[in-house]
A and B are shown apart, each in its own frame.
Chain A
Amino acid sequence: MKTSPCFNKKCVTVLTLVVCLLASMFLASSVKAEDGPILSKELRHIFHPSFVENNESLAAGAGNPTQPYMAGYMTTDYLSGNPVEDRAAGVCVTVSFKGTDNSIIQDGNAIAAGIAAQGPSTSGEPWPFGEPFIDYGYTLLLVVDNLYDWPFIQGIVWEAFEWGPNNL
């Protein structure tokens, strides 16, 4: 049966509307998810370590941008002469952005608070005699930006190569 171009156009328009409606319903439900938590492999912001190639200072640049950072750190009683406390199976901290007006945060920016911890690897001999040392950096952060009125939690595991074949 031959149909008029006008009818075809109407069909396409209706179909497009239906698709858009369905898509918007789907997207709305997946983005809002008012009733449940959302775990995703997404990083809206990357709070990272800066790598230092020499012993002088931090080199800021495209490949190694620096981020403003302020924190507290755990130390032990220096009077005892034993600054290294021990090894921990777990670390924790309580954080809150209570009273924050997130509209003041610039587009593309965010504020994060939480844990930045370190764990070692078993790699032993330093270059050039063996594998480079690798230390692992673990962050678990509460983050807020200006996109949403609620904070989210972000975790990253980093590997940091000590001086060795990867950077010499």
Chain B
Amino acid sequence: MVNIVDYFTWEYPSVLKMDSEVNLTMEWSSNMLFYSAIIDGVEYLFYIHFPNDIQKDYFMLGTVERENQFWEPIIDLPGTVKFFQFSGAWSNENIGRVGWHSYLSYPGFKKRGESSWTNVTFAYSVNGTTAWLDNTANWGGACYDNVNADYTYQHVHFYPTSDGTTLDPDTLLWDPPKCAMKTKIDGYFYMPYVATDVLKIEMLFDNQNLTGDQAGGTSPYNTISHWPDGKVDMINDIKFISGKFGVNEGQSGWDYMADVVPNRKIDIFDTRAAAKNFGKSGTYINSTNPQWLSGVSVVFSTGEVLSPDSDGFVTIPQGATSFTVKRYATPIGAMVIFW
């Protein structure tokens, strides 16, 4: 049995438009649940839920196999409880026509006792036949047939199809990036052996002083250890690169971030590139500037020239072995993440 215990509707016609990007948030604080949203950059707090005596003040994360503690010795329950779901298409009945779009991005969570938000690094698809919220209840209840999705890291675009294609459940929507590279201001990169599907331009630089700034910053990805911090120094950068000296791609200890002069090995050229800029600093061109990707293209060895999407993603053409990042047709340095 399922019952509604609290509910609300919030609207703001002059602010909340069809094209609005809305960051929806539910957050427990002081044993109250706060509902808020950031709409086109402005935050609105619109509702507070007061829990009852037995309601725990947190959300579950991850997954667990279904179980029935009373009947479990007799009945083995199929399926998995998926605690945190981000629904992209949910209707009373199938709309059955093309013309709608639903975009999801950056699902995240804040662990208890922590102050910062963490983005979801592994995500799969699910439909209403297996979207278990606990052992006995299931969100929705049916598959949304004729609905497919395009997906890249932490982004999903759900849309209806007219040819019957439907996103399969348990499709891997994204997993963590495999590696990162930051080379020189000539914008040249080889394609890492380990990742050839998608790349993302994280930041650009046209300041020669930033060549060799490979570490010292905080990485937003738990699989990327080294991240630039805007200055070339001994402790973070030169020590990191020289510590990889002599290692070739694929060998134990290899890190693409140390290959500043890209040739699939860490050698004197890499250490020299960083040492030459010792003590220098600069500023990166990144998403803090809304126009930062204007005029940016990626020229692949296959001859294809692709522009990144609004988040910097580019699908890597099959067979590409290298590429150059350009801005208004001029090569530019970049920090690139690979999947």
Which A residues fall within an 8 A CB radius of B?
A: 32-53, 55, 58, 60, 64-77, 83-106, 108-123, 126-127, 133-142, 144, 148-163, 166-167
Contact = CB atoms under 8 A, between A and B. Distances in A.
Nearest to B106: A94
A106 B95 contact: yes
Given A47-B90, A49-B2, A76 B122 contact: yes
Interface string B112-148: 1110010010111111110101111111111111010
B12 interface: yes
Nearest to B15: A37
Given A71-B86, A113-B104, A152-B16, A91 B25 contact: yes
Contact of B62 (A52, A76, A149): A76
A67 B127 contact: no
A120 B125 CA distance: 23
B299 to A, nearest CB: 29
Interface string B60-87: 1111100011110001011001111111
B70 A69 contact: no
B141 A86 contact: no
Contact of B46 (A39, A49, A83, A115): A39
Contacts of B108: 91-93
A90 B26 contact: yes
Contacts of B142: 58, 60, 66-69
Interface stretch (B49-57, B213-221, B274-282): B49-57
Cβ-closest 3 pairs across A and B: A69-B140, A66-B141, A69-B128
Contact of A75 (B21, B97, B106, B122): B122
Nearest to A40: B9
Contact of A89 (B27, B120, B173): B27
5 contacts: A36-B12, A64-B141, A75-B82, A105-B95, A113-B102
Majority secondary structure of chain B interface residues (helix, strand, loop or mixed): strand
A93 B12 contact: no
B3 to A, nearest CB: 5
Contact of B167 (A32, A70, A91): A70
Nearest to A87: B58
A116 B85 contact: yes
Nearest to A136: B55
Contacts of A120: 56, 60
A158 B4 contact: yes
Contacts of B104: 72, 93-95, 113
Contacts of A68: 89-91, 93-94, 128, 140, 142-145, 147
B11 A92 contact: no
B6 interface: yes
Nearest to A121: B54
Interface of B: 1-29, 33, 35, 37, 44, 46-47, 49, 53-64, 68-71, 75, 77-78, 81-114, 117, 120, 122-129, 131, 133-145, 147, 149, 156, 158, 167, 173
A157 to B, nearest CB: 4
A94 B21 contact: yes
Contact of A88 (B44, B59, B93): B59
A75 B134 CA distance: 15
A155 to B, nearest CB: 5
A82 to B, nearest CB: 8
Nearest to A98: B19
Contacts of A166: 1
A69 B90 CA distance: 5
Contacts of A44: 9
Given A112-B91, A135-B134, A155-B6, 12 more contacts: A72-B104, A72-B173, A73-B123, A84-B60, A89-B27, A92-B117, A116-B86, A150-B13, A156-B6, A156-B7, A161-B1, A166-B1
Given A52-B137, A118-B134, A72 B156 contact: yes
B338 to A, nearest CB: 19
Contact of A86 (B100, B111, B117, B136): B111
Nearest to B3: A159
A40 B46 CA distance: 10
A144 B18 contact: yes
Contacts of A108: 92
Contacts of B140: 47, 49-50, 66-69
A154 B8 contact: yes
B81 A118 contact: yes
B106 A90 contact: no
